[in-house]
Amino acid sequence: MTTTAAVGASQRKDSYQAGRSAIKQALNKLNVQKADLIFLFTSEHYDQAAVLRGVRSMSRSAPIIGCCGGGNLTRKGVLLKSVALMAIKSDQFQITLESGQITSDNIRKVAEQVAEALESQIDTMPSVPHRAVVVLSDSADRKLLDIVAGMTDTLGPICPLVGGGASDHAPARQFFNDQALPRTLVTALLQSPHPIGVGVRHGWNPVGGPLVVSQSEDQFIVKLNGRPAYEVFYEIFASSAPELRRETFFQFTRTHPIGLPQISGEYLIREVVQVRADGGIECVGHIPENAVVRFMQGDRESLLVGAQQAAEDALRALQGHPAAAVLVFDCVSRLPIWGDRADEEIAVIQKVFGPETPILGMYSYGEIANPIGVNLAAYHNKTMVVVALPAHS
């Protein structure tokens, strides 16, 4: 039993030709005419439907899922304006695709319905004991939070979720077979006789002591330890960051998110985006009242350590099997921190898996994965998720 994969990428300006070029490269590397599964990632600079037509011009009826993100990652490095895809040929994976159209008032219900459809296809035979669901969706209006909740309510711990949010800009689309769709949840259930490796790390480190969220309003932290949240934030960082003011708050918090401590000792990261007039701090994602939080900090070096750890965790989880392919979901909010050194993240992942292992990644708008030591998937910010697919028996 074998699994092989190849990546194709194009930066051609013509959308159709970019899609056609990417799939042609991948199929030529695999030396096949049809793949068993295609992951397709684009950037918002393209006509999404035309890209898909270009891919379909050579992919025959191969199953396709994907989305438009904030840029792509391959062995060539970071390709911000590009079409990139991975074609997989496998006689060991059982592959099931499901999708659902979402609106602002039915997100959780659709997520549950998609999860139920996937659950009905789970093979309980001992010959395929390992599984994961790749989840891609529109990230606008905090949809990923409800999607993760709905899918975990149904699938629970029996099936890990991995994936990320698509761009929430108007041209963005999610791909499902022959369709380029807005506001859609697309998923792929992968079932395998061998372990699927997942690594989830971020590289952010706590600063200051633990704080109790004494008042919150959904994604807003109003008070910490009974005081206005911004007042506490300023007190912790003002001495080391004299430039910190309300006007520079977002720029500063790019490297100073909030962490929710997990049972494993790791932190679930929430991005901080603005401060209200009353001193409340807005985060990307719900912050429960009475939760314990820490302010975090990091830089390029710590993020690079996080990327390497995520790759090493994913490789270790393969339990000795080589990796046929690697998928990466890297938060788009980490990208400005890197500047012209963004290629270093993908380089360190490539080093872990070896120079010949195909890698495809996207800059995601929120990440989905099981935190370390936790059996249920969660919604992450400013985090990297690495997924390693096993090669053969």
Distance CA 130, CA 159 (A): 8
Structure token pair of residue 59: 């992919």
pLDDT tens digits in sequence order for the chain, 393 residues long: 699 999 999 999 999 999 999 999 999 999 999 999 999 999 999 999 999 999 999 999 999 999 999 999 999 999 999 999 999 999 999 999 999 999 888 999 999 999 999 999 998 888 889 999 999 998 876 789 999 999 999 998 889 999 999 987 767 799 999 999 999 999 999 999 999 999 999 999 999 999 999 999 999 999 999 999 999 999 999 888 777 888 889 899 999 999 999 988 899 999 999 999 999 999 998 899 999 999 999 999 999 999 999 999 999 999 999 999 999 999 999 999 999 999 999 999 999 999 999 999 999 999 999 988 788 899 999 999 999 999 976
For the chain, the first-to-last Cα distance in angstroms comes to 6
167 close to 71: Cβ distance less than 8 angstroms: no
Judge whether 147 and 135 are in contact, CB under 8 Å: yes
- The amino acid occupying position 25 is Q
Question: How far apart are alpha carbons 71 and 362 in whole angstroms?
Answer: 6
Query: Does the reported pTM lie above 0.75?
Result: yes
CA 46/CA 318 separation, integer angstroms: 36
- The Cα 343–Cα 346 span in angstroms is 6
- Mutual orientation of helices 48-59 and 15-30 as an angle, nearest 10°? 30
Helix/strand/coil for 359 = strand
CA distances to 135, 154, 268, 312, 357 from 326, rounded to whole Å, are 15, 27, 23, 12, 7
For residues 166 and 136, the answer to whether their CB atoms sit within 8 Å is: yes
Strands 323-331 and 359-364 turn out to be parallel
Q: Give the whole-angstrom CA distance, residue 153 versus residue 149.
A: 6
What is the DSSP secondary structure assignment for residue 340, as one 8-state letter? Answer: G
**Pair of tokens at residue 95:** 């592959």
Token readout for 374 is: 């936790």
